[in-house]
Amino acid sequence: MDQTKTPRMKTAGFVMMAVLVLIDQLTKYWAATTLKAASIPLIPGVFELSYVENRGAAFGILQNANFFFLAVTLIMLAAIVGVLRKVPEEKRYTLFTLCLFGLMAGAVGNLLDRMMNGYVVDFLYFSLINFPVFNVADICVVCSVILLIILMVFVYRKDDDLAFLKPGTKADGDEKK
């Protein structure tokens, strides 16, 4: 087998995504059933678990725009799937691919909340800096985006490294042999 190919990369990505969505949903369920009565300080004055029903986006913007968030999330998921179809199944793109699945995990986790509840459950709160309350799905999105930026700036610097993303290029495996 060619050592540069990793045909199970996308399967591993789907498994990772499913595990992250499960962790996100289980922690949100726990927060909804445990933290509604009172917050739990883990590091007093620094970090606590505090239940919040977020009907907006990051930092509470666009309150009650649920249809907008649903539409944007579905469009973004479709775009990510389109990119995933084009990513070559090579070891050098493993981290890139896993970041895309991490991004999808976060999007799906919060999408499920919006579809089932009409809001997103947030519960992680850095009280020291009064940072907006967030959840596991948000962590997946932020970490994936930061890592994608780092990869694009420091790893995939040559013009042809991400050539598969250019419009008109065929999806991996679509080339005729």
What average pLDDT does the segment 131-152 reach?
A: 95
64 vs 80 pLDDT, higher one: 80
Could you give phi then psi for residue 54, rounded to 5 degrees? -95, 110
Point out the least confidently predicted range of 16-20, 45-49, 98-102, 170-174: 170-174
Residue 166: per-residue pLDDT:
75
What are the residue ranges spanned by the domains of the chain? 9-57+64-156
Output the average pLDDT for the chain. Answer: 87
What average pLDDT does the segment 60-83 reach?
A: 83
What average pLDDT does the segment 138-144 reach?
A: 96
3-class DSSP state of 137? helix
Catalytic residue set: 122, 138
What average pLDDT does the segment 141-162 reach?
A: 89
Amino acid at 94: T
Residue 165: per-residue pLDDT:
77
* pLDDT at 15 exceeding the cut of 70: yes
Q: How far is CA 118 from CA 29, 68, 102, 139, in A?
A: 15, 12, 23, 20
Token digits of residue 154: 């420091």
Strand partners, 8: none
Q: How far, in Å, CA of 88 to CA of 172, rounded?
A: 5
Query: Residue 66's pLDDT band (boundaries 50, 70, 90)?
Result: confident
* pLDDT at 89 exceeding the cut of 90: no
H helices of the chain, in order, are 9-34, 66-86, 94-117, 136-150
Token digits of residue 45: 């004055």
What average pLDDT does the segment 72-83 reach?
A: 93
Residue 1: per-residue pLDDT:
40
- State how far Cα 33 lies from the chain centre: 24
3-class DSSP state of 6? coil
